[in-house]
Structure 1
Amino acid sequence: MTDRSVAVLSGGLSHERDVSLRSGRRLSAALRSVGLSVDEWDTDSSLLTHLTEQRPDAVVVALHGGEGENGSIQTVLEMLELPYVGADSHACRRAWDKPTAKAELARSGLLTPDWVVLPHTTFRELGAQAVLDAMVRRLGMPLMLKPDQGGSALGAQVVREPSELPAAMVGSLAYGDTVLAEELIEGIEVAVTVIDTADGPQALPAVEIVPEAGVYDYTSRYTAGLTNFHTPARLDAKTAEAVADVAISAHKLLGLRDVSRTDAIIAEDGLVYFLEVNVSPGLTETSLLPMAIEAAGQSLGQIYANLIDRAITRTPSH
């Protein structure tokens, strides 16, 4: 393992560039700590030259948002026949589009908050207020608004009064052309990391998320001290098992591999609602995946080193 050469891809041009760079730096340090040779590469115009000339033994995608999660960079790696950690391009596209993932999992029997999806053009062509009124009649209040694609809670808005909807809609549309509006389920917010092992996908201890502001938005996610985390989550055994089952089911049903993180809400009646899944979870000092790994008594470097070995093994040319 110690002679493996690994390229960690981070940065990029999405709104999540800074978070991605932080994730890449932390992951690179963790991999070096277990003896791997690591290069950190930004996803700019020099990337393909680096990949084709140096051909690392494996690639780890630490990109968040955009090309890192929508299948684009995965497609490039597949064309170059380079082993990489994470879901393949087709699965990335399914998971990246939140309505697609929700619909697929709902058809399979998982609970997810009721939702509608509307592009910006609908509001412009049909009249914003009339469409918003219909949305409230359909879903009720309160609501969660978010871009239909994206991560790090960018553009996510909680709306508790109809009068707040227009401004919240503008905020969400600043990060995408289409808004996903879903009923807001009040309860315990958790994140569950799933890691593929020789015995199949395993759920790590759930992380319970308690933001001081009441909403786990971008600022609460990446500013130390603004959110309290409990790992493992303060759940009874039955609920903890139900949460793990939802995360593993999402991982399998969407065709994901290696690593994923499912965000969910446990309602007051104990039911677990799937919110979304992330194929490139954050690895910063305030990110949830490293907390789960630590709670499981494992190390970030060793887990990813094992995933790198899996990626190399499954690639035909290696």
Structure 2
Amino acid sequence: MSEFGNVAVLYGGTSAEREISLKSGRAVHNALVEQGITAGLVDTREVSPLQLKSLGYDRVFNTLHGRGGEDGVIQGVLEYLKLPYAGSRVLGSALCMDKILTKRVWQSLALPTAKFREVKTSQAGNIDFEQMLVELNGKAFVKPAQEGSSIGMSMVTTADELKAAVNKALEFGCNVLIEQFINGPEFTVSILNGDALPSIRMQTPHAFYDYEAKYLSNSTEYFCPSGLSIEDETYIQSLAVTAFAAVDAEGWGRVDLMRDEDGQFYLLEVNTVPGMTEKSLVPMAAKAKGLSFAELVVTILRSAR
């Protein structure tokens, strides 16, 4: 394992997803050490990433979730320092972090994604919320366009709820995505070095797969294999690989989808630095493919360039 040199596991940071990142970083660090790899944890809230080379690091495993770690910022720093790292480059990271721009790219390529509207931070006071909801068939999801982990997300069925949800999402300091509600199960497909791993289906008693359902609830169920037919599994794996490449994502990550009552799949978003605890979705899919958590971590690290 000496081929990797001294590995910096970046974690923590200052985004709204800091607590999740701390868990991911510790899990990845433990796996690296168990494999005999020299590695150290670096919390970028406490240590400037500009110091990585002077601290003796040769390679980086990034587990920073959200803005500052998943949006091209840290990727640009690592490019400047000429430090090898795994995952999407600057452009892919920045593009995927913005759910609205991601959906526009998919639309331009005729890839299936739900109807949506955008509210910019400068126009929130000049919107006909009632008309917008009608255009989205009367029910919608509201999301900050540049946050992950369902942070700031709401489901709305009235104009007043939509207005309140938009104002809540605007507090995160970015534009807001208002997306047509899809009534059906949610799936995720992990990507590893150009290949799709087995899909996972999520099931929750919550109204939707929100932050609490993802991280706090014991009632959320995960199915891998997801229960799809061979034809549907092949289709969403192919769709996920295409969608991932379309937004210049690379290396490893996750593509989220939903399926409506008519059986149509819709792309939701791409995660370029998804959760990496042993119970997270990418490790779950890797396990179904025969890869242990430690093997997954080393495979990702080996792709660093």
TM tier, shorter chain? Answer: over 0.9
Could you tell me the percent identity over the aligned residues? 33
The code of the aligned residue for 1:237 comes to I
For each residue in 1:96-155, what CA deviation from the matched residue of structure 2 results, as whole angstroms up to 9, or x when unmatched? 11111111112112100011111233122x2xxx52123123222110110111100001
Identify the residue that residue 13 of structure 2 maps to in structure 1. Answer: 12
TM-score by length of 1: 0.91
Aligned-residue offset at 1:35: 1.9
Aligned-residue offset at 1:179: 1.0
The code of the aligned residue for 2:89 comes to D
Q: Distance in 2 between matches of 1:49 and 1:71?
A: 15
Match of 2:198 among 201, 205, 216: 205
Q: How many residue pairs are counted as aligned between the two chains?
A: 304
> Which secondary structure does the structure 1 equivalent of 2:168 belong to?
helix
Single out whichever of 45-54 and 149-158 deviates more from structure 2. 45-54
> Which secondary structure does the structure 2 equivalent of 1:141 belong to?
coil
Identify the residue that residue 177 of structure 2 maps to in structure 1. Answer: 180
Aligned-residue offset at 1:170: 2.7
Structure 1 pair 177–3 and aligned structure 2 pair: CA distance change class (3 A):
closer
Q: Distance in 1 between matches of 2:303 and 2:253?
A: 15
Identify the residue that residue 238 of structure 1 maps to in structure 2. Answer: 231
> Which secondary structure does the structure 2 equivalent of 1:21 belong to?
helix
Q: Distance in 2 between matches of 1:262 and 1:145?
A: 19
Identify the residue that residue 24 of structure 1 maps to in structure 2. Answer: 25
Identify the residue that residue 191 of structure 2 maps to in structure 1. Answer: 194
> Which secondary structure does the structure 2 equivalent of 1:146 belong to?
strand
Identify the residue that residue 64 of structure 2 maps to in structure 1. Answer: 63
Identify the residue that residue 164 of structure 1 maps to in structure 2. Answer: 161
Q: Which structure carries more helix by proportion?
A: 1
Aligned-residue offset at 1:49: 5.4
Aligned-residue offset at 1:284: 2.8
What are the equivalent positions in structure 2 for 1:1-318 lying under 5 Å apart? 1-2=1-2, 4=4, 5-44=6-45, 46-48=47-49, 50-124=51-125, 126=126, 130-196=127-193, 201-311=194-304, 315=305
Aligned-residue offset at 1:257: 1.4
Aligned-residue offset at 1:2: 4.1
- Following TM superposition, the consecutive aligned residue runs of length 4 or more in structure 1 with deviations greater than 3 angstroms are none
The code of the aligned residue for 1:176 comes to G
For each residue in 1:183-220, what CA deviation from the matched residue of structure 2 results, as whole angstroms up to 9, or x when unmatched? 01111200110000xxxx11111111111213111111
Structure 2: stretches of 5+ with no match in the other structure: none
Aligned-residue offset at 1:164: 2.1
For each residue in 1:1-50, what CA deviation from the matched residue of structure 2 results, as whole angstroms up to 9, or x when unmatched? 24522111000011111100000001111222222111010013533354
TM-score by length of 2: 0.94
